[in-house]
Structure 1
Amino acid sequence: MKVITVEEHFESAKVTQAMAAAAGQQSRPNVSPEMAHYMQTTLPTATIMQDVAKDRLEFMNRYGIDMQVLSYGNAQPQNLDPKDAVPLSQLANDELAKAIQVAPDRYAGLAVLPVGDPNAAAKELHRAVEQLGLKGVLLKGNYAGKFFDDPFFFPIFQAAAELNVPVYFHPSFVPPVITQHYFESDHWTEVVSGIFGSAGYGWHMDVGIQVMRMILSGIFDKLPNLKLVSGHWGELVPMFLERLDDELDKYDGLKRHFSAYYRDNVYVTPSGILSQPQLNFLLEEVGAEHILYSIDYPYKQPANAATFLNDAKLTASQREAIAHGNAERVFNLK
């Protein structure tokens, strides 16, 4: 069975160095000494992130992964000042396109965009797709305190709809005031607060709200073919679709149920959380045709990456759709 994973991360040494120079600091966010130690000892090294020729391919071969769709994670220039973000996003996309050429039958990629200048971002998305052959865009977190439903960013989504490429919403660090209010306590360490407020829960709450705001903004009435991709089994949102319908239908001004937009325009991936109960729930809520496979390499390298889909309680057609068919359709990989 062919397998395509669609949230697999990459960094470029050239881009990371250029970002640090532009920002006057390291590209990763400032954190407490305890959290910095945790990140240094648990997160993938730059060497692993940058590799496309050896360890990554060995992992893919070992776990039966035919193709990875590569994207920059948090070490990317999206949120820099536009004067820096525009040229560095171009550099990042050029570097990713070059990395893909190491094994073009095994890799595809998602663009980085300078979101602080939406018109320049739309132009760069056209270049990335039409000239470099990238297959969509990954947006992380938010920009300058604005979620992406803000009309300011509309040119980016209009371009994605025109190009028929998806927008993958990826978590990023939440504002410190959110961390302080929800995730810090005198009863646990700063490392626990940092994890609780990021990869443990906070990131997922934040980017799930991002997807909900996109629906509530009415963007899918304006751009009915726009496709969003949401990792980590939908970042908590699918569990509340019926509740959102019940509570919002009378007031939100949308033409359809909230859940109808979600089920038509949003695709979900596991991001390496390979759990049968969560898969069962998503099959019921959105259907196999809206589930894509992802490992979140190299952050996650689950032991059941090679066996999960084969062992899962799926029909043959569901298994093929989730393993590769949906990815080929959504990301235009054929």
Structure 2
Amino acid sequence: MTLIAIEEHWVTPDLTTALKALPRPDESLAFNEMGDHRQRLEDLGGDRIATMDAQGIDISILALTPPGTHPLSPGQARDLSRAANDTAIAAVDRNPTRFRALSTLPMSSPEHIVDELVRAKSLGHVGTMVYGRAGDRFLDDPAYDEFFAAAAELGQPVFIHPQIPSDAVRDASYRGFGELTDLALATFGWGWHLDTATAALRLILRGTFDRHPALQIVLGHWGEMLLFWLDRADSLSRVADLQRSVSHYIRTNFHITASGMLNPALLQHALAVTTIDRLIFSTDYPFQHPTQDEINSFLAHFASDEDRHKFSSANAAALYGLEL
């Protein structure tokens, strides 16, 4: 059975240098330096493919690791987004049967986003990855509506990936325990996921999917906690005067990935609130390291070969226009 992983991270040395040179560098960059992560992130060739082979993964969809180019100045973001997109496609061209790529966009320069999205698609990018905000501008800011309109028209799915919450949010909710615990609470322990779920919910409440019904969004980590609170979130639809319930948008405009969290209980809950057609495999490389045995064991929890096939490859192929 073909296995496609859609959230497989990488980074360029130039981008790492630019991010570290900021007056207040993103603290989550520390995760890129743990163990052999930096080496794995920068490799777009043999070692990465060897890991894929060991896991039984046929195709990886490359996506820049957080925070992408979001924290950079408009000029830097434009230049480094363009360079990253060129580098990713070069990797795809070298290994066209093993790689595809999601573009990165200069979200700190809204007037240049659509041009780069169009250019990236022309190069062969199958979608894009963004984060919940750039600086103080939320993803649902009206400045980004042209971007979402273009993504819908071009058939470019938008993956909203976690990033560290703002300093204001961290001061209010994620500090006071010590440096390492503060960082863990604000990132993989809680903050990353709540921040991303909030960004997705804000897009819904802004009426984004009423204006752009063809727009498709991807959330990792089994929906970034949002799937677990839909009974309450649905009540927001009336208050916000939306055309449909929050649950409806989740089932029709959102796709959900596993992000290497191969827990059957999470799968069963996801299936209770959305459909098998909306669930997609990913490993969150190199931050999660499921073995082939662990992957195969998880795949055994699907109700049928058809469902297993959808999760393993068919849904990703349909969403990203891949020919298998």
Alignment of 1:163 with 2:151, yes or no, is no
| Percent of residue pairs bearing the same amino acid type | 30
> Aligned partner of 2:89: which letter?
A
TM-score w.r.t. the length of structure 1 is 0.91
Counterpart contact for 1:78–1:89, Cα < 8 Å: no
Q: 1:216 to 1:156 in 2, by over 3 A?
A: same
Structure 1 range deviating more: 118-127 or 274-283: 118-127
User: Per the alignment, do residues 26 and 296 of structure 1 end up closer, same or farther by CA in structure 2, a change over 3 Å counting?
Assistant: farther
Matched ranges for 1:194-213 at <5 A: 194-213=183-202
Contact 1:135 1:331 (C-alpha < 8 Å) held by counterparts: yes
Contact 1:295 1:305 in 2 (8 A): no
* Secondary structure, counterpart of 1:194 in structure 2: helix
| Counterpart among 275, 287, 308 of residue 299 in structure 1 | 287
Correspondence 1:260 to 2:248: yes
- CA shift for structure 1 position 28: 5.0
Contact 1:208 1:237 in 2 (8 A): yes
Alignment of 1:63-142 (within 5 A): 63-74=55-66, 76-130=68-122, 132-142=123-133
- 5+ residue gaps in structure 1? none
Question: Residues 94 and 209 of structure 1: is their aligned pair in 2 closer, same or farther, counting only changes over 3 Å?
Answer: same
Is the 8 Å Cα contact of residues 28 and 74 (structure 1) preserved in structure 2? no
**Closer/same/farther in 2, CA of residues 218 and 13 from structure 1, 3 Å limit:** same
| Alpha-carbon contact 2:131-2:139 (below 8 Å) kept | no
Partner of 2:26: 29
- Identify if the C-alpha distance between structure 1 residues 180 and 78 changes in structure 2 by more than 3 Å, giving closer, same or farther: closer
Give the Å deviation of 1:183.
2.3
Please tell me whether the aligned partners of residues 77 and 114 of structure 1 are also in contact (alpha carbons under 8 angstroms). yes
What CA distance in whole angstroms lies between the structure 2 residues aligned with 1:267 and 1:179? Answer: 28
CA-CA distance at 1:13 after TM superposition: 2.3
Give the letter for the 2:101 counterpart: G
Structure 2: gaps of 5 or more residues: none
Label 1:40 to 1:320 Cα distance change in 2 as closer, same or farther (>3 A).
Answer: closer
Instruction: Give the alignment partner of residue 169 of structure 2, picking from 173, 178, 197.
Output: 178
Matches of 1:217 and 1:204 in 2, distance apart?
20
RMSD: 2.0
Match of residue 6 from structure 1: 6
Please tell me whether residue 240 in structure 1 is matched to residue 237 in structure 2.
no
1:159 Cα deviation after fit: 1.3
SS in 2 for 1:199: coil
Amino acid at match of 2:314: G
**For 1:234-289, what per-residue CA distance to the aligned partner results, in whole angstroms no more than 9, with x for missing partners?**
000011112222x2243110011111111100000011111000000101111100
- 1:309 is displaced (CA, Å) by 4.1
The whole-number CA distance in structure 2 between the counterparts of 1:262 and 1:66 is 28
Match 1:221 to one of 194, 206, 210 = 210
Within 2, Cα distance between the matches of 1:190 and 1:72? Answer: 26
Q: TM-score, normalised by structure 2?
A: 0.93
Aligned equivalents of 1:28 and 1:58: distance in 2? 32
Instruction: State whether residues 69 and 107 of structure 2, in contact with CA within 8 Å, keep that contact through their aligned partners in structure 1.
Output: no
What one-letter code is carried by the residue in structure 2 that aligns with 1:122? V
SS of the residue 1:295 aligns to: coil
Using the TM superposition, give the Cα deviation of residue 46 of structure 1 relative to its aligned residue in structure 2, in angstroms: 2.2
SS at 1:192's partner residue?
A: helix
Distance 1:76 1:244, change over 3 A: closer
The number of residue pairs the alignment matches comes to: 322
